[in-house]
Amino acid sequence: MKAVGVVVEYNPFHNGHLYHLRESVKKSNADIVIAVMSGYFLQRGEPALVSKWERTKMALQGGVDLVVELPYAFATQKAETFANGAVSILDALHCSYLCFGSETGDIAPFLHTNEFLQKESEQYEEYIKHFMQTGVNYPTALSLAYQKISNRKDTLDLSQPNNILGFHYVKAISKLNSNMIPLTIKRYKAGYHDKDFASTSIASATSIRNSLFDQNADISSYVPNDTYTILEKYKEQYGVFHQWENYFSFLKYSLLTMKEEELKSIYEVEEGLENRVLKLIIDSHCFQDFMEQLKTKRYTWTRLQRLCMHILTRTSKQEMNLINQHETSPYIRLLGMSERGQEYLRSIKKNLKLPIISKVSGFHHPLFEIDLRAAATYFMIFPEPLRSRLLKTEYTTPPIRMSY
């Protein structure tokens, strides 16, 4: 049995994801698909729309065979760390392929760029530092540095978010000396930055989320029926699609009761940002308001959202530094599986390169502590007794099994 891996957030799972899944199977000719998926908080520094269990169901119903969690410590980071964590998990699960979406659908430029940058890495790093010092944000510095050193025609446009991720998957595979073969498929319609619906059946997750928060918009044409049902049911049962505004009181409380020393110890708090957030939070009425005041040219919106998220989950530099040396996940948390996924898991179980968490309360790892805090934070917005019930699900929910 051969497996193809995909790296996803499924926030929510939509027709574009379904297309990507099917194309990945076609391209790889693999027997099963493994998705490594972010948990409760996402790369852009936001809470997921619905819980990871609901998103796992969406994935399984869409055709994924194994859903495993990308730990918070990787899921909420810049592309490089994000990719390293995801690739290390797919590699540990013996995936033969990793398939990602890209603008052109051609893998060659990714491979060339990786080789090229390995050769030129010193020069590249120097340029990045140089551009950071001019006051631009990190992604811009990467892009400018890259422009400086690249003159070959077959290299990538690294200003495209999806190309950056793809590049880091390829880089992580080669860094890990993994046998996984990277594949890419052309992204279908709907650019990453689209805010409005295209008149097709594929729309970006961003535009779907915006529609969900705007009660009147209908998203049924852009997501599979199963996703639609799960989303409807979640809203009905829990009354909410999670967004930052729901957490603003906890962020404010957290900030205003944090000692200066602890605030400075929070991951991504640096260069006097602690003074800015403290000064601005007291008078901010909502998260949007707070972020708009906080935003400067120096930092991207995403970078600042992540900072807020780490304050909310009280994630420290010291904890995150635990991943900096190896950048491989120390464990695998299984969220769901199809019958074929289960069969595959049985076949590789003896050769697993990482431990699978079987009992949450019995597993201890400093990075897993962050996952547990993130789960607790995610459910904190609910009234009792719903909150207590949901808080316990993190400890009691077995991997979701789906039969055909």
Binding site for its own copies (CB under 8 A): 249-250, 252-254, 256-259, 262, 282-286, 312-314, 316, 369, 373, 376-377, 380, 384-385, 387-388, 391-392
Gap between the Cα atoms of 218 and 228, Å rounded: 10
| Shortest Å distance, C-beta 50 to its own copies | 20
Q: Which residues contact 166 (CB under 8 A, 6 or more apart)?
A: 100, 101, 102, 110, 182, 184
Q: Which of 195, 383 has the CB closer to its own copies?
A: 383
| Shortest Å distance, C-beta 286 to its own copies | 7
Q: What is the DSSP string of 354-391?
A: SPBP--GGG---HHHHHHHHHHHHHHTTSPTTHHHHHH
CA angle at residue 9 from 163 to 91, to 5 degrees? 70
Closest CA to 112 of 14, 182, 195: 182
CA angle at residue 3 from 56 to 156, to 5 degrees? 90
Query: What residues are designated binding site?
Result: 7-20, 101, 162, 187
Q: Which of 213, 253 has the CB closer to its own copies?
A: 253
Q: Residues of 201-214 as b/e, b for ≥16 C-beta within 10 angstroms?
A: bbbbbebbbbbbee
| Shortest Å distance, C-beta 293 to its own copies | 12
What strands lie across the sheet with 32-38, from one edge to the other?
181-186, 97-102, 3-8, 32-38, 66-70, 333-338, 400-402
Q: Which of 71, 166 has the CB closer to its own copies?
A: 71
Q: Which of 52, 187 has the CB closer to its own copies?
A: 52
Query: What residues are designated binding site for ATP?
Result: 7-20, 101, 162, 187
| Shortest Å distance, C-beta 35 to its own copies | 28
| Shortest Å distance, C-beta 251 to its own copies | 10
Gap between the Cα atoms of 126 and 145, Å rounded: 8
| Shortest Å distance, C-beta 250 to its own copies | 5
Q: Which of 272, 385 has the CB closer to its own copies?
A: 385
How buried is 153 (Cβ within 10 angstroms: 0-12 exposed, 13-18 middle, 19+ buried)? Answer: exposed
**DSSP-assigned letter for residue 397:** P
Gap between the Cα atoms of 286 and 243, Å rounded: 12
Residue with tokens 């316990």: 392
Q: Which of 149, 278 has the CB closer to its own copies?
A: 278
Residue type, 89: I
Q: Which of 218, 283 has the CB closer to its own copies?
A: 283
| Shortest Å distance, C-beta 381 to its own copies | 9
